[in-house]
Amino acid sequence: MQHTKSKALYEEAVKYIPGGVNSPVRAFKAVGMEPIFIEKGEGSKITDVDGNTYIDYICSWGPLLFGHGSPDILEGIQEQLLKGTSYGAPTAIEVEMAKLIVEAYEGIDEVRMVSSGTEATMSALRVARGYTGKNKIVKFEGCYHGHSDALLVKSGSGTLTFGVPTSPGVPADVVKHTLVCEYNNQEAVKALFEEHGEDIACVIVETVSGNMGLVPGKKEFLEYLREVTKAYNSLLIFDEVITGFRLGYGSSPEYFGVVPDMACFGKIIGGGLPVGAYGGRKDIMEIVSPCGPVYQAGTLSGNPLAMYVGKKTLEKLKNNPGIYKELEQKASYLAQGIRNNLKALDLELTVTQVGSLVCLFFTSGKIESYEDVKDCDLEKFNKYYKAMLERGILMGPAQFEALFLSTAHTKEDLDVTLKANYEALKVAYNK
Ligand code: PMP
């Protein structure tokens, strides 16, 4: 497999863009490679500038639930495009979009659109602090909530990959109100609330963490978070940037039976265009400007093109509830196939799967928190990664990322992937 054109583009890119990329994980640094530059995507496949085609399990890191360029989602977008790309004034489509989210998500009465997941979580924290009049926030080790200052503490994804638990440039004064707990550890949360409960504005959590590989939240843990936040008049915020409309049309409240005070969205609700959103109960959201004093704004918020694709995406999901079952079946077929390969090769590695997300950890035993994943054998993972890529399988280029499945992935794609998985494991472990 040749990467000549990607290499040339990368050499040019590093002259003008830090590290040659606009988001760190795209650099392929964690797997000791140079980035692959993409030419186009179609369905479950993605083609690079050298003409290599891969089965794509990045799917833009989650937004592409229907794969690349889904024709029914993009149908009509040209009409919207010709009407203008942004107005800076309200449109009907924003109202429709907000209504779809509010009707789908239990506990949310109002929603504000923004342009990224980072903006959504950052804004939700401000609202939680403004609403409660308290300062501290609780987050969990290995959960990533975007790159705003207060949340860039012991976070996952690229920050795990690059070993930057807290980034330079974040003043200690800013993060002194950020309390970090072990994921899925009820006792640790209890202790934190006993000590700081009176000043905890909110707990923010990924109900299924997709930023330290794939670590499912336990139902009892989420139930406890609901209970303890209520008892201390703190808010519970679900960061559904990955899980929103992926676990099901009702997202985490439907999946786990736990209803938060606020939720943050991104990815799927934009179908691949830049979008984020945060919402909550009416009494909470009505403190947001211009109703109330908590300020938050955005030039491109509710962008008509993003709203168009988002609305089409949500409508398609709403009208085809069977999609979630189909996605779950595909993901469990893949997860089970990987487990079968591991068994055939006498390897003890752990595979996790929730809905349409799958992760193969290069470690064995239970996977419940960052503690459990941090000892993964990254050297073996990197060998495996390269062998998979050579066989035409594109995954997030780091151990701490999940595989994202879409409805466009066919059984044939999954079988090709499982064959590659068997061979790549053999390469990684010299079997
Ligand atoms: N929250 C979660 C759970 C995420 O996975 C991400 C990004 N992967 C974000 C927030 C930040 O979203 P964005 O990259 O759109 O700013």
Same domain for 12 and 135, yes or no, is no
Same domain for 258 and 313, yes or no, is yes
Residue nearest to atom 1 of ligand 1 (CA): 145
Q: What is the CATH number of the domain that holds 142?
A: 3.40.640.10
> Residue 169, exposed/middle/buried by CB under 10 A (0-12, 13-18, 19+)?
exposed
From the CB of 242, is ligand 1 less than 6 Å away? Answer: yes
Pick the atom of ligand 1 nearest to 157's CA. Answer: 8
Q: Let me know if 183 is a catalytic residue.
A: no
Same domain for 302 and 335, yes or no, is no
Same domain for 131 and 12, yes or no, is no
Same domain for 40 and 78, yes or no, is no
Question: Distance between CA 102 and CA 278 in Å, rounded?
Answer: 11
Pick the atom of ligand 1 nearest to 267's CA. Answer: 15
Quote the ligand 1 centre to 373 CA distance (angstroms). Answer: 20
Which tokens belong to 403?
């595989």
Mutate to test the pocket of ligand 1, among 152, 239, 241, 275 (most ligand atoms within 8 A of CB): 241
Q: How high is the pLDDT of residue 198?
A: 96
Of the residues 319, 337, 361, the one at which a domain ends: 319
Of the residues 267, 285, 319, the one at which a domain ends: 319
| Tally of domains in the chain | 2
Active-site position among 48, 56, 239, 261: 239
From the CB of 232, is ligand 1 less than 6 Å away? Answer: no
Which tokens belong to 232?
């201390």
Please give the angle made by the CA atoms of 275, 370 and 244, to the nearest 5 degrees: 25
> pLDDT tens track of the chain, all 431 residues?
999 999 999 999 999 999 999 999 999 999 999 999 999 999 999 999 999 999 999 999 999 999 999 999 999 999 999 999 999 999 999 999 999 999 999 999 999 999 999 999 999 999 999 999 999 999 999 999 999 998 988 776 665 555 455 788 888 888 889 999 999 999 999 999 999 999 999 999 999 999 999 999 999 999 999 999 999 999 999 999 999 999 999 999 999 999 999 999 999 999 999 999 999 999 999 999 999 999 999 999 999 999 999 999 999 999 999 999 999 999 999 999 999 999 999 999 999 999 999 999 999 999 999 999 998 999 999 999 999 999 999 999 999 999 999 999 999 999 999 999 999 999 999 99
Question: Distance between CA 195 and CA 94 in Å, rounded?
Answer: 42
The domain containing residue 20 runs over which residues? 4-69+321-428
Q: Let me know if 239 is a catalytic residue.
A: yes
Same domain for 57 and 98, yes or no, is no
Same domain for 87 and 32, yes or no, is no
Pick the atom of ligand 1 nearest to 274's CA. Answer: 15
Residue linked to tokens 């907000």: 98
Quote the ligand 1 centre to 144 CA distance (angstroms). Answer: 7
Q: What is the CATH number of the domain that holds 355?
A: 3.90.1150.10
Same domain for 178 and 202, yes or no, is yes
Same domain for 239 and 375, yes or no, is no
Same domain for 137 and 230, yes or no, is yes
Q: How high is the pLDDT of residue 210?
A: 96
Q: How high is the pLDDT of residue 415?
A: 98
From the CB of 126, is ligand 1 less than 6 Å away? Answer: no
Residue linked to tokens 């670590």: 215
Residue linked to tokens 């495009």: 81
From the CB of 272, is ligand 1 less than 6 Å away? Answer: no
Single-letter residue type at 225? L
Same domain for 289 and 404, yes or no, is no
Q: How high is the pLDDT of residue 171?
A: 83
From the CB of 145, is ligand 1 less than 6 Å away? Answer: yes
Which tokens belong to 218?
């336990």
Quote the ligand 1 centre to 118 CA distance (angstroms). Answer: 6
Same domain for 212 and 226, yes or no, is yes
Of the residues 294, 319, 344, the one at which a domain ends: 319
